[in-house]
Amino acid sequence: MWRAGSQTWLHHLSKAGKLCVPAINVNDSVTKQKFDNLYCCRESILDSLKKTADIMFGGKQVAVCGYGEVGKGCSAALKAMGSIVYITEIDPICALQACMDGFRLAKLGDVVRQVDMVITCTGNKNIVVREHMDLMKNGCVVCNMGRSNTEIDVNSLRTPELVWQHVRAQVDHIIWPDGKRIVLLAEGRVLNLSSSTVPIYVLSITATTQALALIELFNAPEGRYKQDVYLLPKKLDEYVASLHLQTFDARLTELTDEQAKYTGLSKYGPFKPSYYR
């Protein structure tokens, strides 16, 4: 029951037959995904960029690599602040969503000369490589909101002809022989974990999800869970959400008996099939 990014690793273990206990992949629970990834990043990308690079967002051109939950949060926030955002994607479904949400879908190489900022959110490796950085314009900001260390090929910048200038915490200028600078944030580590705070509300959601998953595994009758990776049961996912609604002075509607019967749902949930997101 680990955090974001670890689910792939759990599945690897499970496939290899090396997982010795049942595991719940809380990262893919709906509540966790939406809050820790989408909604949290929507705010922390702005916060982190202000705190480190102190840039104005209005009118800036930005490439966001990856349109999963993190990419969706980052690009929505930047668009709302007046940036022009290009999305790169490998998955045609996410790509089509980016189009319908009003973003140009491009390859990084095609827009890297013109953008003021590149943000990686893919969970993959070597998304921004030296060839890209050689093409960037002076002052381009490069940072990572996805998987730590791997997305930007920072090692390719540790070559003799480039000068590193440490400007302040989390900010390095990399200077090309012709004087061009790119602004590298957090040396390619995850930007919001390095430079921003996580709202206590999001932390509460994540911690509640983790605690409930542990309790579920502990209390489960013999045989319910094998040495495999499970999703958080829908009903627990809904319970986490309901606990956090009161902060917003939000009033939930209850099914009438007639409506419960009509839809075949219990009045106490779960309200959606387990695959519903």
Instruction: Name which of residues 167 to 186 contact a copy of itself (CB under 8 A).
Output: none
Q: Does 34 bind a copy of itself (CB under 8 A)?
A: yes
Closest distance between a copy of itself and the C-beta of residue 146, in Å? 12
17 makes contact with a copy of itself (CB under 8 A): no
Query: 9 or 164: whose CB is closer to a copy of itself?
Result: 9
Q: Rounded to an integer, what distance in angstroms lies between the CA atom of residue 275 and that of residue 277?
A: 6
First to last CA, the chain: 20
Of residues 5, 114, 109, the one with CA closest to residue 59: 114
Q: How many CB atoms lie within 10 A of CB 34?
A: 16
Position 19 contacts a copy of itself (CB under 8 A): no
Cα three-residue angle 251-256-261, rounded to 5 degrees: 135
Q: Does 202 bind a copy of itself (CB under 8 A)?
A: yes
Closest approach of Cβ 208 to a copy of itself, in Å? 12
Minimum Å gap between C-beta 145 and a copy of itself is 16
Shortest distance (Å) from residue 28 CB to a copy of itself: 7
Identify which range of 53-61, 157-165, 168-176, 217-225 contacts a copy of itself by CB under 8 A.
53-61
> Considering only residues 80-109, where is the footprint of a copy of itself by CB under 8 A?
80-84, 88-108
> If you search the block for the tokens 């943000």, which residue do you land on?
119
Single out the segment in contact with a copy of itself by CB under 8 A; choices: 161-169, 183-191, 220-228, 238-246.
238-246
Contact 40, 202 (CB under 8 A): yes
Q: In the chain, how many H helices and how many E strands?
A: 11, 10
User: Which one of 26-34, 170-178, 180-188, 210-218 is the stretch in contact with a copy of itself (CB under 8 A)?
Assistant: 26-34
Q: Please give the structure tokens belonging to residue 218.
A: 């502990």
CB of 127 to a copy of itself, least distance (A): 8
Q: Where does this chain touch a copy of itself (CB under 8 A) — which range of 120-128, 184-192, 206-214, 220-228?
A: 120-128
- What contacts 219, CB < 8 A, 6 or more positions away? none
3-state secondary structure of 164: strand
Helix (H) or strand (E) holding 263: helix 257-263
Residue 175: its H or E element: strand 171-175
Cβ-based nearer residue to a copy of itself, 177 or 273: 273
Tell me the per-residue interface mask from 129 to 168 with a copy of itself, x by CB under 8 A, - otherwise. Answer: ---------------------x------------------
16 near a copy of itself, rule: CB under 8 A: no
User: Nearest 5 degrees, angle CA 9-CA 15-CA 16?
Assistant: 90
> How many residues line the site for a copy of itself (CB under 8 A)?
93
Instruction: Decide if residue 254 touches a copy of itself (CB under 8 A).
Output: yes
When binding is defined by CB under 8 A, the residue of 4, 10, 128, 241 that contacts a copy of itself is: 241
Spatial contact of 44 and 192, defined as CB atoms under 8 Å apart: yes
Residue ranges with strand state E in 68-116: 84-88, 104-105
